[in-house]
Structure 1
């Protein structure tokens, strides 16, 4: 119902034109939220146990080697998006022979990419790990060991992508959710076992993680071979299809690469100037921020297809209104969830990990500001994606994100702290937002003054008012559970009240009140 309140008339327009598969869509959405919720709980607990088992330094080493693998596996991720798109189109046409050829051609491309990953990993990647990363000499053997296992896992992951794409294309989200939950649950069991062994825990963790990846790889393959006729893999080279897929990822690859390079590049730069302890702090901050942002991202995912549909029928005015609504309510949701985390970061980290690693509090708070900026920019990007003219937005976003890396390097060379690196990173997001607003206005006539007045200014006022009382509580009460419980409760209550009376318009407030009254009346009638 939240989506209906947010979309208003747009919701009715879109729903009236949708197919009878709404029940399947709703069910799949529930599966994905269930997956996210379970993965969140298990993932946070796994991170805590992992840090306690490995120690901060080895945990940072584990993260920095993973950062190198993130660079190497970048193009395989882009290729996976193209594979998913073409398999879905093939299913829609219902031509099984063509679908088999598409799967085999995509599988061949992925196999080639997997081999390329191994070659790059065993040359450039291996050289970078051994000669550029700052790793204690006594841990070099362990670093190379986990790197080789990670490289093998990357090979399996690339070749597995067509099978995962088939599961998603067939809308078997229950299977996708189960496999994801199996992955995080099995990793939690592995991490708990580390607490009771005396061998090199980092090397053992990497070994078991590779085994988990191998099991997941086999289960996906067996499932797809049994359930989907097209998943009988043959080596096929389809020049036209390969060209179409690479054209599909085309300009999007520039913006995606810039964002990935920004994210992973900062990890590597921090390692060049500081110890793996800083990388551990970055890994913890990323875990917290990613899980918070997933709640907002799932909401925006529900709105995104409707933005595209309104563009397709030429309803630019309604599309832009929907974009504003998506940005507005995404940011409101983030304030309710993120503001208590921002205010009580220290207590939450202490509760989660048992101690507070250096720089973690500052990293998390700055990252929450980044997420807020992303939450109001992503719907603008969805509007640009609906237009389909991707050259200009990807060039501007690439410049904004890539300019951060040399700036951070220069700042750290001059003696800046890791916190300054995060602040510099945060500055790229408002630049990207300004560029996206200008581009959307160029393509659809988007009303930028209205956006600034109704979204940005209103959001800032809501944020300030909501933060005053809980911040005062943290200043005047001693650190502990009582302060935490009171400040979080007051933060959520203040946010909801301010958003309701100042953030929502009169029509939506009326709908919310009427719906609540109807629910209460129904509950009272049932009890009597």
Structure 2
């Protein structure tokens, strides 16, 4: 009974945190969709493509912060699962010290290798090189502020105070709307102004998160700590996460650079729009994962394996559902939706966006499986094998483009690599934990297949018999009814 009571309590906490994060993501999505439309219109496709590819060079360095962010969240949640308050304080101080070192290293890399690459290897019109230089500098400083925020964000996630994200996001949304309006009235170079204003938003966000954590969490008050064992453990853990995170960068940002090399900045604009749409849709499933991940780590740390596996199976299934319920209407009506959203559609944007959504749908089934692998701390095999498969995306894409393939082929290749890596993940987890592939298929994969098939049939045929956009409201109603019925099937499969 106590274990069952704890499980119900954890489930309620996950539901509450998911709702708070949903509020946050709806706000961010609405602001993002509006701001992208206006910014693309004000800057134009070329300048917007330049901003995204130049900022993308800085984003490549995020594989360092991504690896450390995952490590921070894992060690914080693990210490809380063990009830180790002293270890929690030490973990924060050690982690923050490592982040300071990372910031210095990234600054040096960005101002040498990164700046050289932007100046000599990106396809940028000569008259926009000065603007590209300044937005690159703004992106570097913005990234440094974002990086130092990560330990504080990890503490919030570990404490499961997701309402903080909602409150800070209100401020962020207001600031981003202000950026859009300022961009329309400030007479100076729009591209440079946009980079500077986005830097200001990053500075405000960092300040708010830091102030909140220092006030509410005792462990977030930094003390200089030297613990050789903990440094070694975190670095060892982060080292393999570093490889995994770098693979994610190669899959997105380096492929973006490949597209720039072969097709120029206009195609980068289409890619940027597709990523904005997929990020907006994915944010809903990520909210669910963010609410669930601390519980996966804590139940694993407390050696409550049954509840841990239940969370992983259900999390995999509902992460997909929460993404699919938004992705399906968009996929069927993509041209109509993008035409309503944007004044001018860049070349390839419709197909790019559809394929990007398919890619994230396939990947969504593995989100909680990835967190289970992180919880074990035994990630050498996992990261090396899965990362190696995803890493093939870059050379295969290069070969395809070199042979004359269309730009969209890189996304088809990405989908194939994502599917293969998802299959490999479950076999690795079986070696690392008590993960049951049969239970995973029964409790997650089969319900996902049923929901996908039955929820897609009626909207697809309806879409084929109506003009674009005309059937959208009715089509969405049918789609929602399908989901209501098929969620019941998924629950039934869980209990049988």
Using structure 2 for the length normalisation, give the TM-score: 0.87
Q: RCO greater where, 1 or 2, for CA within 8 Å and sep 6 or more?
A: 2
Q: Distance in 2 between matches of 1:483 and 1:275?
A: 36
**Alignment partner, residue 473 of structure 1:** 462
Q: Distance in 2 between matches of 1:226 and 1:382?
A: 29
Matched, 1:292 2:287: no
2:388 maps to which of 392, 399, 402:
399
* Greater alpha carbon shift after TM alignment, 433-442 vs 327-336: 327-336
1:53 maps to which of 19, 37, 42:
42
Q: Report the structure number with the largest CA radius of gyration.
A: 1
Is residue 108–residue 237 contact of structure 1 (8 Å, CA) maintained in 2? no
Q: What are the within-5 Å matches in structure 2 for residues 509-528 of structure 1?
A: none
**Alpha-carbon offset, residue 471 of structure 1:** 2.3
Matched, 1:247 2:236: yes
Q: Distance in 2 between matches of 1:76 and 1:507?
A: 37
Is residue 107–residue 235 contact of structure 1 (8 Å, CA) maintained in 2? no
Per the alignment, in what secondary structure is the counterpart of residue 122 of structure 2?
coil
* Greater alpha carbon shift after TM alignment, 343-352 vs 164-173: 164-173
**Alignment partner, residue 262 of structure 1:** 251
Q: Distance in 2 between matches of 1:268 and 1:181?
A: 33
**Alpha-carbon offset, residue 129 of structure 1:** 0.4
* Greater alpha carbon shift after TM alignment, 289-298 vs 319-328: 319-328
Matched, 1:131 2:120: yes
**Alpha-carbon offset, residue 267 of structure 1:** 1.3
Matched, 1:65 2:54: yes
Partner deviation per Cα, 1:4-62 (whole Å, 9 max, x = no partner)? xxxxxxxx885423698988776554433322221122122122221112111111111
Matched, 1:196 2:185: yes
Q: Distance in 2 between matches of 1:506 and 1:329?
A: 13
Per the alignment, in what secondary structure is the counterpart of residue 418 of structure 1?
coil
Structural RMSD (CA) = 3.4
Matched, 1:118 2:107: yes
Residues 465 and 314 from structure 1, CA distance in 2 versus in 1: closer, same or farther, beyond 3 angstroms? same
Using structure 1 for the length normalisation, give the TM-score: 0.82
**Alignment partner, residue 485 of structure 2:** 497
**Alpha-carbon offset, residue 270 of structure 1:** 1.2
**Alignment partner, residue 278 of structure 1:** 267
Is residue 78–residue 301 contact of structure 2 (8 Å, CA) maintained in 1? no
Residues 50 and 373 from structure 1, CA distance in 2 versus in 1: closer, same or farther, beyond 3 angstroms? same
**Alignment partner, residue 38 of structure 1:** 27
Residues 293 and 14 from structure 1, CA distance in 2 versus in 1: closer, same or farther, beyond 3 angstroms? farther
2:146 maps to which of 157, 161, 165:
157
Query: Aligned pair count?
Result: 494
Q: Distance in 1 between matches of 2:432 and 2:223?
A: 43
**Alignment partner, residue 77 of structure 1:** 66
Per the alignment, in what secondary structure is the counterpart of residue 185 of structure 2?
coil
Q: Distance in 2 between matches of 1:443 and 1:412?
A: 38
Q: Distance in 2 between matches of 1:460 and 1:76?
A: 35
Unpaired stretches in structure 1, ≥5 consecutive residues: 1-11, 510-528
Matched, 1:488 2:476: yes
